[in-house]
Amino acid sequence: MEKKLVRSPRTNKEMEVHTFHSSPWTMVLPITAEQEVVMIRQYRHGTEAVSLELPGGLVESEDGTPDDGARRELLEETGYHSPSLLKLGECYPQPAILSNKCYFFLAEHAVKVRKPVLDDGEDIQVIKMPLMEIMSKIRHSEIDNGMVLLAFSLFWMKQKRLS
Amino acid sequence: MEKKLVRSPRTNKEMEVHTFHSSPWTMVLPITAEQEVVMIRQYRHGTEAVSLELPGGLVESEDGTPDDGARRELLEETGYHSPSLLKLGECYPQPAILSNKCYFFLAEHAVKVRKPVLDDGEDIQVIKMPLMEIMSKIRHSEIDNGMVLLAFSLFWMKQKRLS
């Protein structure tokens, strides 16, 4: 976290702002040949609750590109691999406090190739969810992580453009 | 910000996590009778760049409900008022680090009723953007704040359900 003293260009007053520098994030929407989404359930310390989400995480220094990071996180968190990763979009998750971007990928024909390999702090349960049920889960607030909702929105927008 | 020592339920290892407690956020999608979206351009300290966004902000203690907070932020940041606020949805913006929810509202028939009244730290330019141009702005990454993208997604999903 970084504290900065900045001057308002409008009022010329000095004030303290708190920002975080972070490497990019990735989020992956993995879909199997049976049209099931590979999701994860994990405990989140901010909300102090279990959250139904999509795999993803920080792009590490050993990852060459966000694609590489997304592929690695998908494999580590779920044990799934996809022959092709398609970029769905990108955004700044919180421009007011975070410097980083989040990159969204679609991983079609995802196949389980091994067991998940979790970081120390991770406690993740892998769940396959029929794609057809996702909208209903969103309407009932069972999926309520903002970036996960955006991932599905980007996917549906892409589908609509292609149809 | 809060530092917590937590124990992983899976590995039983202790680790330090950083979380932020915050009151809820609101985000408003104001549309005029002429089908223009009332947007704001503001400098963001996280990304150190100017960002094209929707009005909104923290729900303050004097706000009774998120609706009240949304109505107040709309008026303060843009000078616009809407006779009706319709809830588009809600989410947890960052469950890993933030405790709070963000509530999204549609403000139809928005009308300018006064000049904006800005906080010390705010430097905001109000811009009316034809609704028809929003998708193109998103595709060209001129709108790239994650929560703003989600607000438009929720709006289009609502429109689709009603059509």
Distance CA A145, CA B51 (A): 22
**What angle in degrees, to the nearest 10, is found between the helix axes of B146-162 and A146-162?**
60
Residue recorded with tokens 């976290």: A1
Whether B127 and chain A come into contact, CB under 8 Å, resolves to no
- Average pLDDT, integer, range A62-90: 96
What the block records as the tokens of B52 is 């094209």
* pLDDT higher than 90, residue A59: yes
* pLDDT higher than 70, residue B9: no
Q: State the pLDDT confidence band at A54, using cuts at 50, 70 and 90.
A: very high
- Nearest by Cα to A82 from A130, A120, A32, A44: A32
- Average pLDDT, integer, range B7-30: 84
Closest residue to B45, CB basis, from A17, A43, A141: A17
Residue recorded with tokens 């007011």: A96
Distance CA B129, CA B70 (A): 20
Contact flag B90-A4 (C-beta cutoff 8 Å): no
Which positions in chain A touch B97 (Cβ < 8 Å)? 45-46
A85: CB partners within 8 A, 6+ apart: A28, A67, A70, A71, A105, A106, A107
Mean pLDDT is lowest, of A9-18, A101-110, B30-39, B145-154, for A9-18
Mean pLDDT is lowest, of A147-151, B7-11, B51-55, B125-129, for B7-11
Question: Length of chain A, please?
Answer: 163
Residues 67 to 86 of A: which have CB under 8 A from any B CB?
A: none
Contact flag A94-B118 (C-beta cutoff 8 Å): no
What are the pLDDT digits (tens) for B33-81?
Answer: 999 999 999 999 999 999 999 999 999 999 999 999 999 999 999 999 9
Q: Confirm whether pTM is higher than 0.95.
A: no
* pLDDT higher than 80, residue A35: yes
Which positions in chain B touch A147 (Cβ < 8 Å)? 93-94, 146
Which positions in chain B touch A153 (Cβ < 8 Å)? 149-150, 153-154, 157
* pLDDT higher than 70, residue B163: no
What are the pLDDT digits (tens) for A3-21?
Answer: 877 776 667 778 788 888 8
- Average pLDDT, integer, range A112-127: 89
Whether A117 and chain B come into contact, CB under 8 Å, resolves to no
- What pLDDT does residue A163 have? 66
Nearest residue of chain B to residue A157 (CA atoms): B153
- What pLDDT does residue B43 have? 92
- Nearest by Cα to A85 from A35, A128, A30, A129: A30
B22: CB partners within 8 A, 6+ apart: B58, B98, B99, B100
Which CATH entry fits the domain spanning B2-162: 3.40.50.1970, 3.40.50.720, 1.10.10.10, 3.90.79.10? 3.90.79.10
Q: Quickly name the fold that domain A25-88+101-162 has.
A: Nucleoside Triphosphate Pyrophosphohydrolase (3.90.79)
* pLDDT higher than 80, residue B13: no
Amino acid at residue number A40: I
Check if the beta carbon of residue B111 is closer than 8 Å to that of residue B81: yes
Which positions in chain B touch A104 (Cβ < 8 Å)? none
- Per-residue CA distances from A136 to A50, A139, A151 (Å): 19, 5, 16
Contact flag A157-B153 (C-beta cutoff 8 Å): yes
- DSSP secondary structure string, B5-26? EEE-TTT--EEEEEEB----EE
Closest residue to A123, CB basis, from B8, B102, B154: B8
Question: Length of chain B, please?
Answer: 163
- What pLDDT does residue A10 have? 67
User: A111-112 and A124-130 as β-strands: parallel, antiparallel, unpaired?
Assistant: unpaired
Which positions in chain B touch A93 (Cβ < 8 Å)? 93-94, 146
Q: Where are the domains of chain B?
A: 2-162
* Element containing residue B67 per DSSP (H, E): helix B66-78
Contact flag B146-A147 (C-beta cutoff 8 Å): yes
How far off is chain A from B130, nearest CA to CA, in Å? 20
Closest residue to B150, CB basis, from A4, A10, A150: A150
Contact flag B51-A95 (C-beta cutoff 8 Å): yes
- What pLDDT does residue B72 have? 97
- Average pLDDT, integer, range A65-83: 97
Query: Rounded to 10 degrees, what is the CA torsion of B125, B102, A76, A157?
Result: -70
Nearest residue of chain B to residue A143 (CA atoms): B91
| CA-based end-to-end distance of chain A | 44
Interface predicted TM-score (ipTM) of this complex, two decimals: 0.92
- Average pLDDT, integer, range B22-39: 97
Chain Cα centroid distance, residue B22: 14
Distance CA B108, CA B74 (A): 12
Q: b/e per residue, B10-47, with b = 16+ CB within 10 A?
A: eeeeeeeeebbeeebbbbbbbbbeeebbbbbebbbbbb
